[in-house]
A and B are shown apart, each in its own frame.
Chain A
């Protein structure tokens, strides 16, 4: 027993000797990506990883950041809080890591973020939407919209683009759906002459909307704001339009999917929705990103993937702007940065929430098109 302790102590001393005498500045800047690469949410994590690697590759081809090569370190958290906390410990221990892009689900992010905050390293989640997440500290950011911003945008579309006076709300009975519907109602009341005339909740997965349509048709809204994914919006629009072809719909950005058009066909013509990333945009920046992504990975990038791409770009830009890889300097820079990304011009508010500009999309002739505000 004694022998083992002696050996261990000797090894420890030798190791600390070596590590102690290397104050030489590192040759690389590392960017950590922590996301689910296996398990149920692997599709999102893989998108994050692909996007960050693409961004880093593009920086490196231009000579890296501060004349240093950028390196991506990838951690698989399996969308599991415990894994995420362990990974966070590993990340803060590596002094070359300048910032973290990641964690996917809000709950997982919040298991890891106290560690990042304590160690003082910037974390940008491309996907967390829980209101409390960014309040965990000044190093904690999100490059995703908080729901009330998007809700306001949806009402804005209804009122300005569709001249709605009477608004109906259809929402799915989930945490997100119920909360969002509540926020939509609240914001709608701030508009002059606008009122919510009917609110119906449905279980996610409903395909028969006839009783709901009857209820709406009786209340006669000009526009129905649909708080649900494409699989709610498309059949609802189909059944409502059959009874009343004059009705208009506004969806949310998570209904922004080719599946919406595949499923709703001519009945989703004229459906509006707000989105921060428009895949078919004519914008040079976005076009280049979509082309580069498709060429490299053979699939189209989703909104969240685009948000991960920008998150990496934001951290690297912050490093370049401050000309240092000092973690607290990077953090300070993020509050000042205005980053022209593929998900719009991004700035962060004092909580660390990204302030996004939304594009208004409309389904026209079987495709999404961007409309001017």
Chain B
């Protein structure tokens, strides 16, 4: 079995995302891979990770095999420390109690802006997408990790609509828009790990996933990519990471 066949795209997304979290952090997690990755981190390297969900949960500890179908379902509360109202848990972001926000993305651009609202002209959209939920709040108010599938149509030079701001137009435009805290920090895909240039705020490749070439990442991206001077190759998922992940999601709800 080759290295790439040992895991699915969603599994490597979850594992590499989990590695970005530090013990003791407070992480605001969206549904799907983010919830799974935060839970994986909690069960491996970060036992003191505090997980928040937008339904109002503070300090979640979700049960293996009983992953919730959304972050507003009762399963999110199992063995949590506290349950707040939804507005109150989101206000914790605005006050600065959250270290990392963590969500998926439908479409992203070179400055890390996310679109989950419209494909095409918002006045006459080709496709009306579900919209922001808490995504705008999370990305506006804290440091973001985005985990998403890597496709050309998802990695575009400029999103049709900024639902959740990253660095907006680059440079100081995020701060100038009235968002003094937080930033787009990492983007994780099944091909690579991305960061952002400190000055231009443009996305760049920090590390290639195991077995992935520079060309493969560029070919699946809708704009010209920069590669970090210290570009490295991520170490592959360990057996322990894969086993823990599969124990958490035995029905492959989020990792198929």
Answer yes or no: are A and B bound together in one complex: no
